[in-house]
Structure 1
Amino acid sequence: MNFINHKIKIYALAVMGSGIFLACAQTGNAVSSKITAEQSKSGKIIPAHLKWSERMLRSEISRFPEAWMLDYNKNPKWSYPTAIVLEGAERLYKKTGNKEYYNYITRFGDTMVKEDGTIVSYDLSKYNIDMLNCGNVLIYLYQQEKKEKYLRALQTLRSQIDGQPRTSEGGFWHKKIYPDQMWLDGLYMGEPFYANYTHEFSKGADAEKAYDDIINQFDLIQKHLSDQKTGLLYHAWDESREQAWASKKTGLSPHFWSRAMGWYGMAMVDVLDYLPQNHPGRKKLISYLKSYTDAVIKVQDKETGLWYQVLDKGGEKGNYLEATGSSMFVYTIIKSVNKGYLPKSYKTYAKKGYDGIIDNLITVDENGLVSLNKCCAVAGLGGTPYRSGSYEYYISEEVRSNDPKGTGPFILASLEFEQ
């Protein structure tokens, strides 16, 4: 029996037996001996005295003992949500020195990248921009371990950028199967990796060209997807106006989806980590971040501090306060304040949102495992079956707990507050 099949079988038994993957956690070394020792003292798997960032990461490791299982994958899959949780693991390892957090990352790299640099389940020919985000994990692992296979995999991912189909103005298509379309989601999927790779591996004119290209992606989003009245941004834009979801006049999808805007905010604040201080696009990106945040706080729920699935329709039937978008907004705002991109007064809005998540969306079970509830599992446009982008569509998608598109940003937001 090979290692991966062994893991999957243990995973299945754990689901049937306990619902929280404890058997797999123990056999897969997903919980360190330190955690086990703490459990024997406290009677809990996740001690309550830890900060929320660690409590959530340890809970995710208990639920998903291998990082490829995040997003409820049953088989190893190259999947963008994994990278967000692993970024939290990276930062917590640096903060605490707990080797288990590092092991969680490196086991993912060892499983997902073969010795020849081939990435499991990745298909370059699809030109799916979602596939680039997990490249950030490989940059970290290459920095730490200098394994040749990670460099080869990174070069393959970088080659996707060179071949990615584009709009007439140079904007990346979201996927090859979605021609002429820019989605807000795609800015987070592509640009932080593009900027990180450029910062790490490119020099001179090549680096300058890449940074200019990155800023152009944001310029095009602001030009085509921003609503002049509210400052909010629509989910997507079809340059060809051929999609049924697209306005024949503007090419825009009809609604402001919470997580799409969450992705966009995280894209801006994370790209600024790598953009040179003297690059002319830096000031522009910070101005976009300011107008974005001003629009977001106007639709923040006054009672809870959270944000609705469809941002500007809080009072409408079926709409709900959603965890992934709320976590992303909190992370974007508090990181922007900490980095000096926004005035300190904006911390009030981030704190209200963060407290709202903990008070309304977080639950803790008898073992100390932390759950983030009311996460929209997925939403998109077009495809088969066809997703119309209507209000009814957005509120009808599956809602679940512990989606990494929420738990990852929650860990990162927690770390910003815990500084």
Structure 2
Amino acid sequence: MNKLKHLVIILFVIVQGFILKAQENTNTRIPNYEIPYEFPEVENIKEVLNRIRIYYEASSPQSIVDSKTGNKITNFKTFNTNAEPSKGFSSEYSYTHGVVLSAFDYIENVTGDKAFFANNIKFFDYIVKNLPYFQKNSDKIKKEKIGSWGRILKFHALDDCGSMGASLIKTYLKTKNEEYLQLINQTADFISNEQFRLPNGTLARNRPQYESIWADDLYMSVPFLANMGKLTGDTKYYDDAVKQILQIADRLYIPEKELFDHGWNVTSGDYDPRFYWGRANGWTLMTMAETLSILPEHYKGRDKILHLYRAMVRSLANLQDGTGFWHNLLDKNDTYTETSCTAMFTFAIAKGINEGWISHVYGPVALTGWNATKSRVLENGAVDGTCEGTTFAHDNTYYYNRGKSIYATHGYGPVLYAGAEMIKLLQNDRFEILKAKDNAVNSTYHFLLKSEWPIKK
């Protein structure tokens, strides 16, 4: 009896061992995704976008204050030399804020939710109401910048006006508020006639090196030029937009990488060192996406822009990290994964699929890019993990060690844009999306173009 009992125990242990081994083998075969490999839901995306909007709206009272006391100014009959706009993101006349306002305009177009675009009207009305107070008293202002409005009285660089000017045109096209035209025309005059250019007309800077071209400047100029062409019907703006993309690409686009170098300067010439910074490439791809959507289909040079766009997307799909993010230096996987460029690429790739510029097979790249992006949106709506503002540098150590935080506002607009475009992609009835199965050993997402398949009976 004891022998039988002992045998039963041994058999039980052996069987349990096989069961545990089988479970272990099954569990190790199922992928363990760092970022959930899940299918986004439209309502969830809208919730993320609204969280960001609420965070943005709470960032500033949009008032004029005394910089010494912090008190709100209510008497505008005499000029207060300490007067400046209130601090906070939603008060800034800045290129990062311009991206947010353009995204708000786009979200209303996609979803019909007027709560987003209401911020455009509120902000630009705040500007045109209070700007004359500073303009009339400009001789009394000793500073180059007026608080969070920067160099609004006299633009010095594309950063001062281009992105914000593009969002102002989009707002004007909906509101037809003629008080906006003065700033629109001021921006057009600066970019077309005052901003420093190389002899061939390429927009450039004399910083940090003599006669430098920055990839960032594509977004700081071209969307405004394209939208100015749309507003006025004057094709000189389209021509300049196309010229800037193609001539900057001549210097910065590296065909063997299918990426843009962050910058170039005349002193280094053909042997300028190359750094493939994520956000700089994000600016270029977003610029091309917006330009392609505005230019007439057969406009001269559009086909070359489309080729650059497609080639970049191909390269970026290969460089995407296994988490769905892209790295701060795109070709260096030991740099951190960065939010703003991930959102920019997600938007531009999703838009390309929606517009038919690239194949639908890139759908999972956009989908996993969005899953990564939304993981950086905190509960209070702040966007984390965005690289701080970055100069055109010449050493890896600098790019590797850039800070990142919720206060780097470069990420907010791109995340809003990415969410809006993902909503369009998920609602695009040209595609059937085969979803990945939960806890499956081998399952992924497939975007199928319905028109390619026989009609199901």
Q: TM above 0.5, one fold?
A: yes
Which of 54, 60, 66 is matched with 1:58 structurally?
54
For 1:10-409, what aligned pairs fall within 5 Å after superposition?
Answer: 50-64=46-60, 66=62, 73=88, 76-95=91-110, 98-113=113-128, 114=130, 120=149, 121-124=151-154, 126-163=156-193, 164-174=195-205, 179-203=210-234, 207=235, 209-238=236-265, 240-241=266-267, 248-250=268-270, 252-301=272-321, 303-315=322-334, 319-359=335-375, 361-364=376-379, 369-381=380-392, 388-401=393-406, 403-409=408-414
Shift of 1:96: 5.3
- Give the whole-Å Cα distance in 1 for the aligned partners of 2:212 and 2:114: 42
Shift of 1:370: 2.9
Shift of 1:177: 7.7
Contact 2:370 2:422 in 1 (8 A): no
Contact 2:60 2:91 in 1 (8 A): no
Contact 2:94 2:159 in 1 (8 A): no
Pick which of 193-202 and 145-154 moved more.
145-154
Contact 1:376 1:397 in 2 (8 A): yes
TM-aligned CA distance change 1:253 to 1:67, over 3 Å: farther
Extract unaligned runs of 5+ from structure 2: 1-42, 65-83, 136-145, 425-457
TM-aligned CA distance change 1:400 to 1:212, over 3 Å: same
TM-score (ref. length: structure 2): 0.69
SS in structure 1 of the partner of residue 202 of structure 2: coil
- The one-letter code sitting in structure 1 at the alignment partner of 2:395 is S
Identity over aligned residues, as a percent?
25
Contact 1:84 1:404 in 2 (8 A): no
Contact 1:173 1:179 in 2 (8 A): no
- Give the whole-Å Cα distance in 2 for the aligned partners of 1:161 and 1:214: 11
Extract unaligned runs of 5+ from structure 1: 1-46, 242-247, 382-387
TM-aligned CA distance change 1:331 to 1:75, over 3 Å: closer
- Equivalences, count: 346
Shift of 1:48: 6.8
- The one-letter code sitting in structure 2 at the alignment partner of 1:399 is K
Rg (Cα) greater in structure: 2
Shift of 1:273: 2.1
Shift of 1:287: 0.7
SS in structure 2 of the partner of residue 362 of structure 1: coil
Shift of 1:282: 1.5
Pick which of 227-236 and 303-312 moved more.
227-236
CA deviations over 1:257-302 (Å, ceiling 9, x no partner): 100000000000011222112202221111110111112222211x
